[in-house]
Structure 1
């Protein structure tokens, strides 16, 4: 079932040259309730992420090996609990400043009332997350580590140009398509959680 294999492409992503007239494919699986539509390729925008529930797995190691290991842990969890796949899949990797931080992957539940927070299958945890604001860059094609890091750099440059906002969390990658979607048509996002800076009293 292609929804259940949505994130297998995370471990296989490569550089892809996208034709100027080639549009990204429709999202492979339903979005969680209230989740905003994907950001279009090359666009940077601020958007609101609603409160959501997700199954989370973490591991040490580089991104490629981590993706494969985390995918199968989460796949087992949703299969055992009969949780339908959604998009996007969220992946968070340690930055240079957080070298000891483990890699993390999330499968999002369709709604907050689905399942329950707490221990999942194996080492998987199910957690609830509050609503937040993010700045997002849309990317089409493949997302190798260098493309991911370039996306983070672009968002950080955007934050420097928009000092009314400040980062509040770790950058993350969101994937909306699986291996059955042609690689050149896959849609991704790089996000950084942000919050508005309070204006100084005059």
Structure 2
């Protein structure tokens, strides 16, 4: 395919009629970790994890501006302004109350029924591999079912096999949708994707 039609990232989806996993139904979390929904007064707590997420993502997108931690901290809007309406943030706290990870969900109706998106999911480095991400995604799917979502999806880089495996494990599957990109600074389609 020409560069302007290159596949950027696969789209994964899950039908809301799929049941939540037995593991989630049997437990509200993983081990001593519990999945909770953050209230508006708690949303600023995920800001350090959002900065870590953006720093990690910069490694995969060298064509994007490469910001330092202080630049990212200064540039992130107030988190509570990002999560309004039908959007919500799930999080896992360890027994000491520290946030181990979060999952930002967006719910919207494009006129064909309520849809859901896993907009961001991030697990702190020391907590990776311990089931935190799976617990967050399982709860996200349960929220989608509870809210009557007819279609839910998540985006990931094609080379991110760990994330792809995790998304498939909780019921998401590949979609053949083609995502086209255009970067104004480059003036060309598909640059860096």
Same fold, TM exceeding 0.5?
no
**Higher relative contact order, structure no. (Cα contacts within 8 Å, ≥ 6 residues apart):** 2
